[in-house]
Amino acid sequence: MLVKLAFESLKSRSSSVILTLLSIIISVALLITVEHVRLEAKNSFNRTISGVDLIVGARTGQINVLLYSVFRVGSASNVMSWESYQELKSNPMVAWSAPISLGDSHHGHSVIGTTKDYFEHYKYGNKQPLTFSSGDVFNDIFGAVVGADVAAENNYKVGDKIVLSHGTGHVSFSHHDQAPFHVTGILKSTGTPVDQTIHVSLQGLNAVHLSKTALSKVVEAYNNKQHVDLPESGINAVFLGLSSPIASLQIQRKVNTYEKEALSAIIPGVALNELWQLIGMVENLLLVIAFMILIASILGLSTMLLASMRERHHEFAVLRAIGAGPLVIFGMIQIEALLLAFTGAVLALLVVWLGLHLSSSYLSEHFGLFIDTNIFHANTFILFAIVMLVTCFIAFIPAISAYRTALHTGLSK
């Protein structure tokens, strides 16, 4: 009954109510988005790599190593020599190793050169291995394994030819169009930067950076199915699996104090944490700002209700006359506020849900952020409850004002 009364009353003041509703939708949507993206980003972060004990690269900060080797963001300017890699690999505590070499791209997706070990040992999420939706690992120097998003975007099938470009970025003027790269396998979606990556063999990547004449010789030999010997060149990073987890610190120290070359070894979990703290700070700040905006918009709601008090004198007088106590009028104002906040919050959920559906592919492509479009989880509902609580609290201001008005409203005023 009171709900119907409150609803009709709001309907009769539709213009100011709609404006207020809009401000609530915007602020709640903002809050839900910030919180959802925060959670998802953290999730997405922690999912990117698992089962790798150490990442070794030329000496630089640990976040930098993590960014270029795992997230394929930024550029690996320093190179680690092939000899250092061989020495590291031969260490008895190293169970497996997967070298990677970066710097080329394909339609804006990064290309990494690696070995078969990468597909066997690289894990993501909860120690999940990479699996193929079709095809298999490359067996020759010009084979390529593409990530799920790359395949979907370009409609690649096993056997398709691809041309790598020198340097990173969408627009590159130097294409390695001589090298006959072709798709040998397509990976299943992982929700990590792997989906955005093209994997080729280290030799293949080395070959395209040879001089034109040298490359054509290699291609000729390849086409004639002859064995080609390619000089090994430096790599950008190497993922290591160790025989025992305790070995991590030992190897890390060994690498960091290696004398022939300046190298860094990072523990992915530690580096991820540091990176997260950096980003998390910004995200916490965003969350605080979003909360402030929410409070501002609910204060706006209360102001709207408060401003309507004078014009509602008659309404209260009528309600009093037919036997409504001032508490009923207090309740009516509260219900109006909650009804507005509830409607606003529900619409905001819808807006965010739609927005995420429309932008998730863009985010994953351009920022490596894998945002789950399902926002209906516990945190969202906690936020929802907080919105209602804050509204209930702030709506005390107009509700008490209405209570007082009702208490002192005579019948005929």
Partner 1 sequence: MPPVPAVQVTDLCYTYSQSAQFVIDIKDWTLNKGEGIFLYGPSGCGKSTLLNLLAGVLKPTAGEIRLLGEDFSKLKNRQRDKFRAQHIGVVFQQFNLIHYLSVLDNLLLATKFSGTRVNKDEISHLVTELQLSVDIFNRKASQLSVGQQQRVAIARALINKPELLIVDEPTSALDEDARDSFMQLLVSLTQTFGCTLIFVSHDKTLAKYFHTRVNFTELNQGVMPNVS
Residues engaged in binding partner 1 (CB under 8 A): 1, 4-5, 8-9, 11-12, 314-315, 317-328, 409-412
Q: Pick the closer one to partner 1 by CB: 150 or 329.
A: 329
Residue pair 332/9 in contact by the 8 Å Cβ criterion: yes
The distance in angstroms from the start CA to the end CA of the chain is: 25
- How far is the C-alpha of 411 from the C-alpha of 314, rounded, in Å? 9
Q: Pick the closer one to partner 1 by CB: 17 or 112.
A: 17
The distance of closest approach from Cβ of residue 107 to partner 1 in the complex, given in angstroms and rounded to an integer, is 59
The distance of closest approach from Cβ of residue 393 to partner 1 in the complex, given in angstroms and rounded to an integer, is 25
Helical H segments across 258-369, by residue range: 268-307, 313-321, 326-367
Q: Pick the closer one to partner 1 by CB: 322 or 378.
A: 322
Q: Pick the closer one to partner 1 by CB: 88 or 329.
A: 329
The distance of closest approach from Cβ of residue 401 to partner 1 in the complex, given in angstroms and rounded to an integer, is 18
The distance of closest approach from Cβ of residue 18 to partner 1 in the complex, given in angstroms and rounded to an integer, is 16
AA identity, residue 272: L
Q: For residue 99, list its beta bridge partners.
A: 238
The distance of closest approach from Cβ of residue 367 to partner 1 in the complex, given in angstroms and rounded to an integer, is 49
Name the residue with tokens 């920022």. 367
Contacts of 36 (CB under 8 A, 6+ apart): 352, 356, 371, 375, 379, 380
Return the H-helix or E-strand segment holding 162.
Answer: strand 161-166
DSSP state of 163: E
Q: Pick the closer one to partner 1 by CB: 63 or 317.
A: 317
Alpha-carbon distances, residue 205 vs 177, 202, 328, 397 (angstroms): 13, 5, 77, 68
Q: Pick the closer one to partner 1 by CB: 1 or 378.
A: 1
AA identity, residue 241: G
The distance of closest approach from Cβ of residue 407 to partner 1 in the complex, given in angstroms and rounded to an integer, is 9
Locate the DSSP E strands across 197-295: 197-201, 237-242, 263-266
The distance of closest approach from Cβ of residue 148 to partner 1 in the complex, given in angstroms and rounded to an integer, is 56
Question: Residue 197 phi/psi, 5° resolution?
Answer: -115, 150
DSSP state of 378: H
- How far is the C-alpha of 84 from the C-alpha of 68, rounded, in Å? 19
The distance of closest approach from Cβ of residue 20 to partner 1 in the complex, given in angstroms and rounded to an integer, is 17
Q: Pick the closer one to partner 1 by CB: 36 or 312.
A: 312
Q: Pick the closer one to partner 1 by CB: 157 or 413.
A: 413
The distance of closest approach from Cβ of residue 338 to partner 1 in the complex, given in angstroms and rounded to an integer, is 19
Return the H-helix or E-strand segment holding 390.
Answer: helix 378-394
- How far is the C-alpha of 156 from the C-alpha of 150, rounded, in Å? 8
Q: Pick the closer one to partner 1 by CB: 291 or 403.
A: 403
The distance of closest approach from Cβ of residue 331 to partner 1 in the complex, given in angstroms and rounded to an integer, is 13
Alpha-carbon distances, residue 177 vs 29, 106, 231 (angstroms): 47, 11, 21
What does the CA dihedral 269, 271, 274, 279 come to, rounded to 10 degrees?
Answer: -100
- How far is the C-alpha of 237 from the C-alpha of 103, rounded, in Å? 12
Residue pair 79/234 in contact by the 8 Å Cβ criterion: yes
Residue pair 353/178 in contact by the 8 Å Cβ criterion: no
The distance of closest approach from Cβ of residue 342 to partner 1 in the complex, given in angstroms and rounded to an integer, is 20
Q: Pick the closer one to partner 1 by CB: 17 or 198.
A: 17
Q: Pick the closer one to partner 1 by CB: 321 or 350.
A: 321
